[in-house]
A and B are shown apart, each in its own frame.
Chain A
């Protein structure tokens, strides 16, 4: 059974209580009444029982000190996380394991190994947030519930010692109780009466502010946590060339896979000549973008689509994507994020006899899918021996490619004709055409086709409303606790005298104005501030 302390007023209090919940009498010696008023002198629930392992953990997290330390540690970790860029912001296609060391040296390596490069996803950061959540829940339960009980059970008649030790106190004789009651009610206090004693209170709900905002925080943290749960959150990027279709990452399910076609990417600039913008744009060098837009069509495959197989697509819908105007389907949104203009797409060449300038046919090379051999007829043909999409001379001075993007295409061609059945070789790139010098034929450049690319952010977020809800509740709690305060005034008949005491959890100025008004309107002795109370 629980140990209880029975006060002389008859109320039984939980073990550890310092002020009786009902009448406010100090239950132990040397209790400082005023400083105990924060939680009404109620027992913090955790401090009473220390038997089991679970209780010990509970007690640890019940401490506000522990909570504050957790916040400090989280803040310091988050600050350290800003020293080097997060993983999201390093170039794609580099391995973070080597990138941080090569860019930032040993400190970078340590940074990477400790998981600071992906702070919000690192196990220890999530653990810290989890512990903070636990601390918030336990500390609030341990304080909130006893406080609620104490405020609910408080009686009109308070113990003498409780009255005398309040910061605002006075003794008077010969007062009109009805007048006091009426005045307090006019100040919108809720007044209760018991045996000629009065208890007036106002704004009790402000005491719940702290607990409401903690509920908000817990909801907020829950929302953040849910981002790691499958299907709740997608944040990815999708590049699509004009006229091409690409699968949308994160949209694969048993019902099929979504594809997006980029019909057209549009980049519009402001016209500097136009009168309307003339003066505004005259101070700007270069062009000013007016619109970034992708016209897209959404497709979906049949059920049970195998990755990589030629998709059987059904059109879902078409739309336009502009900055801040995403394209939405299911729970996904596609946002305009980036673009690349004029990527090389097809290059055309003509086979030309050097001596005569005669041309023997034209070939067009798809830079994403060049053919091995192009037959020009009449015994003329061209073979591609080597293809470098993004040509560069490497350290050994060998032709090679930087990556697979056709940004600087170069070829080694073999040209065949009835005159040269053995074939002649030439190296051809952008403004490069190199051969042995004895070739009869050459490949002459005959035009290039380009395509634009659009980059879209693929986002799905089922957690946003939870996070918003948490934020709103948090703000309600903060407002509740900050803009209101809990004011109490006690009037007690005591052997011919009338004792008055007042207390508030904050804004003593406001309370003092209330009691001044009260003593002005009635013949109550003005309440005076206790000098010792300030300590």
Chain B
């Protein structure tokens, strides 16, 4: 084999392997963050009925920054962050931000009591059949997904959020 051919062959083989392994690692990283939807993806559309019986369709919020929170009344960290979310919602809702607090498979009675207690004024879509929870690959709750005005996922976290963190999130997705 000529020297030039050999270099080409070696470079090509190394390049193929680097690309294949790189792509595998890239995919494995995505999977780690809780399966399907993660940073950089377009958040899939969904339709749910909220606590007040109103249809909430995700796509209707295009153009706004969406703070998508998955929660349950029985989950302590969720309960902790609710008042912060409510306070910041009041500040940011006029700046093009919406909070959607998707409740994971609970009854209207429980959620209504909870929402009244914390005076939650943002929409609470009720994911009774866990369809959205499954499609978004939600593991532990609370999980918060930040979506910018173009429908792209900016951040995804399963931490219990401090008020400071919520403010920084709001600033991130402000259109």
Contact = CB atoms under 8 A, between A and B. Distances in A.
Contact of B104 (A121, A247, A404): A404
Contact of A307 (B6, B44, B73): B44
B106 interface: yes
B100 to A, nearest CB: 12
A437 B27 CA distance: 63
B24 A225 contact: yes
Interface stretch (B81-89, B91-99, B131-139, B148-156): B131-139
B3 interface: yes
Given A130-B24, A307-B47, A401 B74 contact: yes
A404 B134 CA distance: 16
Contacts, number: 126
A127 B128 CA distance: 41
B128 A309 contact: no
A228 B74 contact: no
B129 interface: yes
B72 interface: yes
A127 B158 contact: no
Given A247-B129, A306-B46, A387 B107 contact: yes
A2 B3 contact: yes
A307 B17 contact: no
A274 to B, nearest CB: 42
A309 B47 contact: yes
Given A2-B3, A52-B7, A384 B109 contact: yes
Given A127-B25, A130-B24, A230-B27, A403 B74 contact: yes
A49 B14 contact: no
Contacts of B158: 95, 97
A252 interface: yes
Size class of the contact patch on chain B: 35 or more
Given A126-B28, A225-B24, A228-B31, A389 B47 contact: no
Q: Which of B105, B110, B130, B158 has the most CB of A within 10 A?
A: B110
Contacts of B31: 121, 228
B47 A306 contact: yes
Given A130-B21, A228-B24, A389-B107, A252 B135 contact: yes
B140 A94 contact: yes
Contacts of B108: 369-370, 372
Interface in A268-284: none
Given A54-B11, A55-B7, A389-B110, A404 B46 contact: no
Interface string B112-131: 11000000000001011111
B6 A49 contact: yes
A93 B139 contact: yes
A386 B117 CA distance: 12
Given A58-B14, A122-B28, A389-B110, A401 B73 contact: yes
Contacts of A104: none
A306 B2 CA distance: 58
Contacts of A384: 109
A371 B141 CA distance: 26
Contacts of A402: 74
B45 to A, nearest CB: 6
Given A121-B28, A307-B44, A387-B110, A54 B21 contact: no
A347 B129 CA distance: 21
Q: Is the interface of B mostly helix, strand, loop or mixed?
A: helix
Interface in A231-251: 246-247, 249
B69 to A, nearest CB: 15
B48 A308 contact: yes
A401 B129 contact: no
B131 A307 contact: yes
A308 B132 contact: yes
A55 B109 contact: no
A123 interface: yes
A228 B20 CA distance: 11
Contacts of A134: 14, 17
Contacts of B27: 228-230
A229 B104 CA distance: 29
Interface string B49-74: 00000000100000000000000111
A442 to B, nearest CB: 20
Contact of A127 (B7, B21, B45): B21
Given A306-B46, A308-B46, A126 B24 contact: yes
Contacts of A401: 73-74, 110
Contacts of B57: 306
Nearest to A392: B74
A368 interface: yes
Contact of A58 (B10, B23, B45): B10
Contacts of A308: 46-48, 125, 127, 129, 131-132
Contacts of B29: 123
Interface of B: 2-3, 6-7, 10-11, 13-14, 17, 20-21, 23-25, 27-29, 31-32, 44-48, 57, 72-74, 104-110, 112-113, 125, 127-132, 134-135, 139-141, 158
14 contacts: A49-B3, A54-B7, A54-B11, A93-B141, A126-B28, A130-B20, A130-B21, A228-B31, A229-B24, A249-B134, A306-B57, A307-B47, A369-B108, A401-B74
Given A52-B7, A385-B113, 10 more contacts: A54-B10, A121-B31, A126-B28, A247-B131, A308-B127, A384-B109, A386-B110, A388-B110, A401-B110, A404-B73
